[in-house]
Amino acid sequence: MNRELNDAVIVAYGRSPIARAFKGSLANLYPTDYGAQIMRAVFERVPGLPVEAIDDVIIGCAKPERTQGKNMARIITLASGLPNSVPAKTINRFCASGLESIALAAQAIKTGEAQIVIAGGVESMTMVPIEKDEMMLYDPELIKNRPDIYMTMGMTAERVADKYGITRSEMDHFALNSQRKAARAQEAGEFEKEIIPVTLDEGAFVTDECIRKDTTLDGLGQLKAVFKENGSVTAGTSSPMSDGAAFVVMMSGRTAEILSIKPIAKFIGYAVAGVDPEIMGIGPIKAIPKVMRLTGLSLEQMDVIELNEAFASQAIACIRELQIDEEKLNPRGGAIALGHPLGVTGTALTIKAISYLEDTGKKYGLISMCIGGGMGAAGIIEKL
């Protein structure tokens, strides 16, 4: 029996400020704590939402282990004050985890398996960092026969720069532009409606803290390569390690109508694709055309493109290969300036795109990123 698919709509959103890992404002706070704070604040943004009717909570996390283990999503759900009847799951598609959570929620809503879902991402790169000694944990046969599977992200960025002929100067200019756009947006208050303050013992954490407003081209040029001797990728052209949380409340269009809740945006489609792990940064080159084919839309129809800036080299490669209109690209800065808390990024970029579309009165937003291990993801939203 054929059944018409439901619309999957976003009715509320919010994120923490993004904190610098290790020395930042969230370094001493458990991700379950600030994750619960942000989740609670986001569902409280929907007056009339029957919390007992929430069918599921889906939280993306790129390192769901140790402090972020034991199905952190369930812990956060209960800590947020939602009733015991609300289930939850933690999911991992590394850098796309926060977008994957939204896509999974949309799939359940579209097919009628769920009516109301909270989706998002939480990541503490402080408490569960990418460790330098992780090679000791891996399969020695794969290390010998498929070392590309375990290649560090920084080395893949160097490979992309080499393969696509991207110069150090180009990367430095790209990073400077990201910092300038983010600093301008922060100064103009354009992130304020996205951000939910996190309560700390000493007060409240209210402002993104990775942005370096004083960045100069000369300063970037003096930085040394960090991943490869005589390489070209520096800390200044890489996204900083960071901590944060972000959530959206999603439901079917029909449920929103019944509850008299005004939808903000509709989730249109999602696609993932695989690429060579050694050049994982080019994942969007495969994922973006795929989501366009699935949805029948075109890159030209996108009004804002939020492409995650894991590294300047991979972002530049994707821009060139896809011929992305840079006027539409990351208008409020990207991850090089704002940070890349791995499991959060997909949700945070979706929120950033929605906020931009609200402010400009435009329609379509594209969210995309490369993914560790050699993948790419892309999702499309429509502002309602």
Classify residue 112 as left (phi > 0), alpha (psi -120 to 50) or beta.
left
- Residues 367 and 306 sit within 8 Å (Cβ to Cβ): yes
C-alpha distance from residue 343 to each of 96, 176, 243, 289 (Å)? 7, 25, 9, 23
Q: Scan for tokens 């910092």, then name that residue.
A: 179
Our answer to whether residue 173 is catalytic in this structure is: no
Our answer to whether residue 340 is catalytic in this structure is: yes
Our answer to whether residue 370 is catalytic in this structure is: yes
Q: Count CB atoms within 10 A of the CB of residue 132.
A: 7
The DSSP line for 26-58 is TTTS-HHHHHHHHHHHHHTTSTT--GGG--EEE
Q: Is 43 exposed, middle or buried (0-12, 13-18, 19+ CB in 10 A)?
A: buried
Q: Which of 61, 95, 210, 318 is catalytic?
A: 95
- Residues 272 and 287 sit within 8 Å (Cβ to Cβ): yes
First and final C-alpha spacing in the chain: 30
- Residues 248 and 351 sit within 8 Å (Cβ to Cβ): yes
- Total count of residues recorded for the chain: 384
Residue 132: its H or E element: none
- Residues 187 and 219 sit within 8 Å (Cβ to Cβ): no
Q: Which residues are tagged catalytic?
A: 95, 340, 370
